[in-house]
Structure 1
Amino acid sequence: MKKTAILLLLASCSAFGQVKKGKLIWEENFDGTTLNEKVWNYELGDGCPNICGWGNNERQFYTKENHKIVDGKLVITAKKDGNKYTSTRITTAGKKEFQYGYMETRAKIPVGQGIWPAFWMLGSNIKQVGWPKSGEIDILEYVGKEPHMVYTTLHTKANHGDHASSHKTRFDDIEEGFHTFGVDWTKDKMDFYVDGTLVFTFNPADKTEDVWPFNQPFYFILNVAVGGNFGGPEVDDSIFPQEFIVDYVRVYSNK
């Protein structure tokens, strides 16, 4: 009995603060040899003429060539090509959109001054209402100029840009190997997790449209930016090429 009680106590302690996932709703395991364009869209270029620098003075030019599928993983490679930087940005807009659930990726991040990988979501109504009214959910952001830090952030009309609802958490080993990054999104709150451990909760008392635009479908974005207002401005050219390796993207129901 004593041994059983100790084991139960250990299990309870290890589960404290850990995410609880519901039923698996959708997953992208990057099987095959090419990106599934029934699921993913490419966003190309430098954002011009509408949002040059992708709204953040970023330096990269997005192409279809800066990625590959290898052994069931998506590999996005940021490169220095001559006098310009290239990368890849893909979205599930209009193809795979979700409202509520536990959203997770398992990935290995690129590193170095000026690098800015992200796993994030935008409201499906962005073309109608614009940003930030559409809302933005940043499940993972990492900037190479701040080693060991993971950013989890929400942008809304009430709080966006430098005033966004954001939190950064230190993980001394985040640059080593693969890690999981997720958000448990319900009608009431957002709980962000790194490696299954809770790092940030957003639960405003007054959920007006300007504060809580998260009652509609959102779509996924995976990309690696270079430089910009957040990732830079300085860029260390000696770090390139850098790879953002994504094992999977999964959506579970809320527990």
Structure 2
Amino acid sequence: MLNGKILLVRRSRRNQSHPLIVVTLTNLLIIFSANTSATNESVKPVDSTKWFHQTILPNGKSWFNGELQHYTDQITNSFVSNGTLKIKAIKESTKQRGVTKEFSSARLNSKFAFTYGKVEVRAKMPKSYGGAWPAIWMLSKDINERGAYFQQLGFGKSNWPDCGEIDILEFWGRIPEVAQSAVHTRSSHGNTINLGSQRIPSISSKFHVYHLDWNKDFLSFGVDNVEHYKYNPKVKNQMTWPFDSDQYLLLNFAIERNIEPSFENGILEIDYVRIYDDSGVLIWSDEFN
């Protein structure tokens, strides 16, 4: 702990329940549990004009870091209900493109990219389980990653970590009550030294606003307007500062190899996502209404 802030060694995100039956009734989707009655909770799909489901395995037969999940575009894994987005990781055998995984989840790419400004995401983390790994983060629009939204549009000239990675919020289930942020560049990546965190006792029971302030000089991270990390390298070059071009937002819930056996499901719940330009004007949002 340094100056009241908890510093954790981490690696990059990039290099790195009960079964449900879905019944569709016109534009209304009602989720039924396989062993209970209806939940009284109507749901709708994620807005496809704003979000892209990234589902293709980019690393052969797996995601990076040996993660155990398949990311799907199924409404059981990502949906909007009662005014919030839910990204749900589920312990269930899932087969996609000939590969079977024991967990399913979702990974959303924003279809919007920007340079400089402020990101605010009001979110509630799932219950802590070792190996559960939800996150709110950013990658370069030009990252060379198979299956990413902008890569499929013809971008993808920059490899990781040269493209840069901005982790606005990571919640490591094995470290309860801690919100962590990190930056990855060519100069420090994987187990990066560029990180900071703060303890949030109600991180899994209440909504909090996670923010990034980004300009030509620094990246500032915090929760509920309390900063816990600022990245401001003295020397800015290709090794330390690949952050003068468009980045897009990612929302996902990964499952690590050390997931606790008792884990059945967990939900990353998001109330809103708002992006402002560097003059404070709202330029993109999803209120999940």
Query: TM > 0.5 between the two?
Result: yes
1:245 aligns with 2:269: yes
C-alpha RMSD of the superposition: 1.6
Q: Which residue of 2 aligns with 1:113?
A: 130
Structure 2 residue 219 is the aligned partner of structure 1 residue 210? no
Alignment deviations for residues 20-40 of structure 1 (CA, whole Å, 9 cap, x no partner):
xxxxxxxxxxxx932221221
Q: Distance in 2 between matches of 1:96 and 1:191?
A: 21
Q: 2:170 and 2:224 mapped to 1: Cα distance?
A: 14
Matched residue count: 215
TM-score by structure 1 length?
A: 0.80
Amino acid in the other structure paired with 2:192: H
Name the SS of the counterpart of 2:236 in structure 1: coil
1:213 aligns to what SS in structure 2? Answer: coil
Stretches of structure 2 that go unaligned for 5 or more consecutive residues are 1-42, 94-100, 144-155, 281-289
Q: Which residue of 2 aligns with 1:146?
A: 175
2:192 and 2:50 map into 1 onto residues whose CA distance is 33
Give 1:149-228 correspondences, 5 Å limit: 149-227=178-256
Mapped partners of 1:133, 1:88: distance in 2: 26
The aligned counterpart of 1:61 is 70
**Alpha-carbon distance in structure 2 between the residues aligned to 1:250 and 1:131:** 26
For 1:211 and 1:103, how far apart are their aligned partners in 2?
A: 21
Distance change (3 Å), C-alpha of 1:48 and 1:160: closer
Q: What amino acid sits opposite 2:252 in the alignment?
A: N
Q: Once the two structures are aligned, what percentage of the paired residues are identical?
A: 34
Q: Which runs of 5+ in 1 are unaligned?
A: 1-31, 228-232
> TM-score, normalization: structure 2?
0.71
Distance in 1 separating the partners of 2:57 and 2:105: 10
Q: Which has the higher contact order (CA 8 A, sep 6+)?
A: 1
Conserved in 2, the CA contact under 8 Å of 1:116 and 1:224? yes
Q: Give the secondary-structure state (helix, strand or coil) at the position aligned to 1:161.
A: coil
Large movers: runs of 4+ above 2 Å = 45-48
| Larger CA deviation: 133-142 vs 238-247 | 238-247
Counterpart in 2 of 1:132? Answer: 161
